[in-house]
Structure 1
Amino acid sequence: MSTSKTEDQPAQEAIEATNDVNALMQGTLFKKGDTVHMSVVENGVRDMGIFKIHKGRYSESKATAVFQLWDEEKKAVHNKGKWYRDGVLKMERPA
Structure 2
Amino acid sequence: MLTTAQVLAENNFGDTRTGGLAGPMGLFLIIALATVTILLIRNMNARLRRLPDRFPPQAGPADHSRTDASVADPTDATSSQESPSDAPNGSQQHRNG
The TM-score, its normalising length taken from structure 2, stands at 0.19
Name the structure where helix makes up a greater proportion of residues.
2
Name the structure where strand makes up a greater proportion of residues.
1
Which gives a bigger RCO, structure 1 or 2 (Cα 8 Å, sep 6+)?
1
Structure number with larger C-alpha Rg: 2
The TM-score, its normalising length taken from structure 1, stands at 0.20
